[in-house]
């Protein structure tokens, strides 16, 4: 699949995950130029109408869900028999991976995750969509700590026609009791599954486990969970109450909505009183006395109608190939004995739980001492207050908290004002203040590299408008805000600006403008101006003759443009003198700079031209010429021409000799006649 181009748009680059019915790949959207995740249905299901319908249903359901805590769905389609869904590419790892690596997670962090998942579920439930498979594997934790709920692959809208095929899907460790029994589901089923997720996250252990999916599902239906505080004593009683209420066996005993559960979690996080109604841990422990018990004769639960737990797990057992579940389905004798045993054990456990609760209550009544409130105190002050009240300081943990000053108590367990045995331990969590991180230097990075660097630092990224830069190549980061090295709160946004390359400006045309107007025009366009003067007989004095670089060419702002301005024209006089024996004159006797003048001469009878000297002193030699002319070109100074005549020894009586014309050029300030 890697290297394949789907519908001439999505280039598959690498596989990042695989599920029961699909594989997920990283891909490049060649139209929008962004990284996306592409979910591709496994080939063995492509011809199954049920699976393809479910695949299309996932895209349609998820595409309508808009929440910062839900993975966005952009597109879906089919290419040569390959069905795919295009989604937002989420960086980070799933919650299950975090639990496997760390074990129990800080309870405040777990509560924050739960609150965000509740917000996502409230959006889905508002559109009559039930997720049906809430589990840690479907909750992505991003580098900034926020979560994204994904995989609505088995979500079902209430008006869906796929009720039968989708009713029993789910993962045994997280499904609700009613889901295990194949009953119609409500949003309360998602709330139960989230309760299991929170339980596992805060304890590091699943509330129900077993050798196979069927045995786990039976426990979901019949057994009460061990209170989380018995697994992790650091768990706050209010948070424990929220988890156990969500995991109530009866859907009516759970939170009415995901939004209601979110409010309870937010109250806990803010230190406000948490109200979960009349629910308490003792009630949870005693729940099993009222639960339906497996009927040894037919495998159904008494009081549950004729719905059996078996169909609910049949599809999962088939898909996972779990040997234990098949053995269960094929053994009536084992099933009967197991049902009776479970009933007895459940009754014993319930009795023990009630006795334990009663002993705990009586002990506290006899020996209970009021716990001092030390939240907001320094560790030293808290220790002093705890010891004076007859208690000891238990575990001291540190956690970032932007709402509590560094070094002061964020929370305590047991809570202040509650009763506890004298000399018992009080556990504390101390604030480390707001978590800050250093902004990395993104200069010259590609957008992908910049985003990766920011995510790794626990920061969000925002792409700003491209800017021209003569220092950074086009398409790479030219500037960022905040600047590199700045300390900012974790999760802050950093804006990066890509280079649009070196900026060039079109040079305006100023030829023919006056010098002053040309300078203003060029300077307003961002250019420097240099002026040179030149004479011109065709351009009025003070107007621009030419410009360099030429008009409409592109150049960097600040480039110097040279304009040549007309200095007008100069006039020069021409003085011609003739010796004895003839006459000479200029036509005209005044000439503009660079112009030409004709020198004419006429010898008297018996004379001829001997020579003519000009400004350069170069002689003009005439041979038997008695009359004629020559031209001086490109006059750049006053001229003084002298024509000399000598007697004509040939006896020529000036019968009209041929005049000679000389082409004269000014060299070194003089005029040369040839």
First to last CA, the chain: 89
Alpha carbons 577 and 629: distance in angstroms, whole number:
14
Of the listed 94, 133, 144, 238, which one is catalytic?
Answer: 133
Alpha carbons 199 and 280: distance in angstroms, whole number:
16
DSSP 493-554: EEEEEEB----EEEPPP-TTSBHHHHHHHHHHTT-EEEEEEE--SSS-TTBEEEEESPTT-E
User: How many residues belong to the chain?
Assistant: 674
Determine contact, residues 135/117, Cβ cutoff 8 Å.
Answer: no
Residue 519 annotated in ligand binding: no
SS3 138: helix
Alpha carbons 475 and 674: distance in angstroms, whole number:
67
Among 174, 176, 221, 214, CA closest to 198: 174
Q: Match 């719905």 to its residue by tokens.
A: 307
Q: Is 550 left (phi over 0), alpha (psi -120 to 50) or beta?
A: beta
Determine contact, residues 98/141, Cβ cutoff 8 Å.
Answer: yes
Phi, psi (rounded to 5 degrees) for 499 = -75, 135
Among 120, 127, 123, 129, CA closest to 162: 129
- Give the Å distances, CA to CA, from 661 to 64, 361, 623, 631: 97, 136, 13, 6
Does the annotation count 133 as an active-site position? Answer: yes
Per residue, the 3-state secondary structure of 399-456, as one string, reads: ECCCCCCCCEEEEEECCCCCEEECCCEEEEEEECCCCEEECCCCCCCCHHHHHHHHHH
Active site positions, annotated = 133
Which residues participate in the annotated binding site for ATP? 39
Which residues participate in the annotated binding site? 39
């Amino acid at each position: 699949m890697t290297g394949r181009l789907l519908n001439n748009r999505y280039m598959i680059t690498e596989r990042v995950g695989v599920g029961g019915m699909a594989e997920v790949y990283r891909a490049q959207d060649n139209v929008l130029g962004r990284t996306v995740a592409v979910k591709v249905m496994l080939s063995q299901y492509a011809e199954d109408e049920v699976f393809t319908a479910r695949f299309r249903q996932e895209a349609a359901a998820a595409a309508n869900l808009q929440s910062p805590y839900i993975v966005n769905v952009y597109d879906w389609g089919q290419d040569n028999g390959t069905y795919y869904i295009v989604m937002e590419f989420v960086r980070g790892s799933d919650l299950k991976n975090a639990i496997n690596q760390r074990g129990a997670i800080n309870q405040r962090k777990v509560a924050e995750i739960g609150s965000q998942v509740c917000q996502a579920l409230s959006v889905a439930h508002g559109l009559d969509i039930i997720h049906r498979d809430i589990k840690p594997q479907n909750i992505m934790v991003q580098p900034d700590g926020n979560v994204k709920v994904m995989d609505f692959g088995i979500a079902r809208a209430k008006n869906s026609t796929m009720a039968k095929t989708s009713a029993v899907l789910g993962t045994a460790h997280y499904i609700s009791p009613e889901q295990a029994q194949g009953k119609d589901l409500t949003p309360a089923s998602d709330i139960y599954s989230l309760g299991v997720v929170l339980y596992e996250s805060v304890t590091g252990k699943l509330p129900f486990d077993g050798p196979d999916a069927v045995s786990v599902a039976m426990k979901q239906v019949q057994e009460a969970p061990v209170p989380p505080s018995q697994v992790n004593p650091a768990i706050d009683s209010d948070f424990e109450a929220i988890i156990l209420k969500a995991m109530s066996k009866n859907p009516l005993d759970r939170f009415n909505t995901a939004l209601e559960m979110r409010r309870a979690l937010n109250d806990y996080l803010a230190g406000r009183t948490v109200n979960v109604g009349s629910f308490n841990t003792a009630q949870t422990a005693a729940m099993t006395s009222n639960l339906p018990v497996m009927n040894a004769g037919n495998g159904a639960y008494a009081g549950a109608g004729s719905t059996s737990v078996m169909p609910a797990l049949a599809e999962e057992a088939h898909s996972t190939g779990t040997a234990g579940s098949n053995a269960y389905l094929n053994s009536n004798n084992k099933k009967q004995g197991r049902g009776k045993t479970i009933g007895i054990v459940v009754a014993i456990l319930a009795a023990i739980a009630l006795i334990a609760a009663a002993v705990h209550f009586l002990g506290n009544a006899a020996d209970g001492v009021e716990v001092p409130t030390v939240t907001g105190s320094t560790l030293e002050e808290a220790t002093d207050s705890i010891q004076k009240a007859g208690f000891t300081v238990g575990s001291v943990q540190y956690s970032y908290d932007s709402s509590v000053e560094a070094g002061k108590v964020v929370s305590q367990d047991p809570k202040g004002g509650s009763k506890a045995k004298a000399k018992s331990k009080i556990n504390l969590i101390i604030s480390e203040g707001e978590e800050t991180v250093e902004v990395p230097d993104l200069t010259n990075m590609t957008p992908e590299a910049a985003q990766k660097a920011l995510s790794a630092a626990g920061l969000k990224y925002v792409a700003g408008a491209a800017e021209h830069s003569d220092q950074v190549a086009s398409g790479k980061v030219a500037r960022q805000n905040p600047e590199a090295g700045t300390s900012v709160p974790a999760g802050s946004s950093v804006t990066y600006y890509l280079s649009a390359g070196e900026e060039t400006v079109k040079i305006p045309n100023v030829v023919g403008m006056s010098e002053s107007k040309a300078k203003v025009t060029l300077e307003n366009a961002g250019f420097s101006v240099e002026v040179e003067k030149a004479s011109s007989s065709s351009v009025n004095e003070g107007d621009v003759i030419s410009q360099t670089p030429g008009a409409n060419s592109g150049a960097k702002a600040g480039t110097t443009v040279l304009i040549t301005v007309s200095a007008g024209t100069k006039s020069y006089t021409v003085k011609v003198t003739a010796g004895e024996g003839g006459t000479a004159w200029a036509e005209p006797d005044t000439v503009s700079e660079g112009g030409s003048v004709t020198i004419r001469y006429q010898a008297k009878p018996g004379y001829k031209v001997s020579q003519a000297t000009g400004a350069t002193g170069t002689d003009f030699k005439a041979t038997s010429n008695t009359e004629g002319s020559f031209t001086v070109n490109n006059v750049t100074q006053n001229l003084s021409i002298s024509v000399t005549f000598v007697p004509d020894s040939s006896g020529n009586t000036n019968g009209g000799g041929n005049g000679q014309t000389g082409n004269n050029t000014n060299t070194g300030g003089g005029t040369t006649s040839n």
